[in-house]
Amino acid sequence: MADATTVKEKAEQEVRMVDIYVTGKRYKVPEGLTIQTALEYCGYNIIRSCGCRAGFCGACSTIYNFTHDPTIRYGLACQTRVEQDMVITQIPFFPAAQALYNLEDLKPEEGENKLLTLYPDIIICFGCNNCTKTCPQDLEVMEFISDAIRGDIEKVYQKSFDCLMCGLCAARCPQGLQPYNIALAARRLRGAHLTTRSQHNEDRIKEIEKGKFDAAIEKLKKADEAELRRMYAAREIEPAL
């Protein structure tokens, strides 16, 4: 811990420091830290609101504004850099409601909009676009909700695919919708029911079940290392696509 102080003092001499506010208290932290690492720099051991630390899991949804500008802003703590006079709050976990379904039963009949069955409330979206403005992945959230209302699963899939499920869109929706859960149901429905199965994959599974490769694999398993090395070196390598 003594070292930490030294490091900190040294840092403060060499580095431009910015003021941030965590639960009302002011801290000086080096410019360039993310909100997450800045909290740790301030002595916080994070338990909730921290996952992959790389912008993939949506665990670290954060609300912030500035002492001179009360407008609420949203982001991921691991991906947002601290700025002068930032006031920071972490959202531990967003409890959005979710429709209950069996994936089996989601297979749509011709012309049927299953999403509307699961989430009938989506029609009350009045297009304020707050969800889109909030999304840390810059997704067109309001647009894919419109697509969901129209039953255009393919478009919901395309536009929502990069969703981290951080829940910020639901936090911001004045109508209480859960865009990220709606999009998840749409994508699962598409993956399971609306894409063509791979014939190659089905064929290969049957071949394996019938034991087509068993004898040859048994032989490989018994081969000594020299023999395996020879076979490995002799593999023909297919060019990358």
Partner 1 sequence: MPYPAYMEESIHKVAATRPSRLEETFSRIPQAEREDLVNEFHPDYKKEYLRELKIGPNKGSLAPDEIADLLEGNSRIDPDEVNLDDVDYDVDVLVIGCGGAGGAAALLAEENGARVLLATKLRLGDANTVGAQAGTQAADRPNDSPLLHYLDVMGGGHFTNDPDLVEALVKDAPDAIRWLESLGVNWDKEPDGSYHELSGGGTCRRRMHSCRDYTGLEEMRVIRDEIRQRHMHGRTLDFVEFQPAIELILDDKGQVAGAILMNLETREMTIVRAKAVVIATGGMGRIHIQGFPTTNHYGATADGLVLAYRVGCPLIHIDTMQYHPTGAAFPVQILGLLITEKVRTLGAQVINRDGDQFVHPLEARDTEASAIIRECKQRGKGITTPTEEIGVWLDSPMIDIIRGEGTIARELPAMVRQFARFDIDITKVPMLVYPTLHYQNGGIMIKADASAPVPGLFAAGECEGGVHGRNRLIGNSTLDLFVFGRRAGKSAAKWAKEVKLGKFTLDHVRKWQREIKEAGLESRPVSPMLLPNYAKHEKPVPGFQPLGEATAYTPFGDATSRWI
Decide: 93 and 48 in contact? Cβ < 8 Å: yes
User: What size, in residues, is the chain?
Assistant: 241
**Interaction pattern, residues 145-184, with partner 1; x per rule: CB under 8 A:** ------------x---xxxxx------------------x
Q: Which 31-90 residues touch partner 1, going by CB under 8 A?
A: 31-34, 36-37, 40-48, 50-57, 59, 79, 81
> Between 124 and 227, whose beta carbon lies closer to partner 1?
227
Q: What's the Cα-to-Cα distance from 167 to each of 25, 62, 116, 236, rounded to whole Å?
A: 27, 11, 20, 47
Is residue 189 involved in binding partner 1 (CB under 8 A)?
Answer: yes
Shortest gap between Cβ of 126 and partner 1 (angstroms)? 27
Shortest gap between Cβ of 182 and partner 1 (angstroms)? 12
Residue 194's contacts (CB-CB under 8 Å, 6 or more residues apart) are 108, 153, 154
Enumerate the H helices of 65-213 as residue ranges: 114-118, 130-134, 141-150, 153-160, 168-172, 179-189, 199-209
Cα-Cα-Cα-Cα dihedral of 91, 184, 162, 177, to 10°?
-50
Shortest gap between Cβ of 116 and partner 1 (angstroms)? 18
> Between 59 and 169, whose beta carbon lies closer to partner 1?
59
Q: Which 3-42 residues touch partner 1, going by CB under 8 A?
A: 4-5, 7-8, 10-11, 14-15, 30-34, 36-37, 40-42
Q: Which 87-146 residues touch partner 1, going by CB under 8 A?
A: 93, 98, 100-103, 137-138
For partner 1, which stretch binds (CB under 8 A), given 115-123, 143-151, 169-177, 189-197? 189-197
Residue 170's contacts (CB-CB under 8 Å, 6 or more residues apart) are 94, 96, 177, 178, 179, 180, 181
Shortest gap between Cβ of 99 and partner 1 (angstroms)? 9
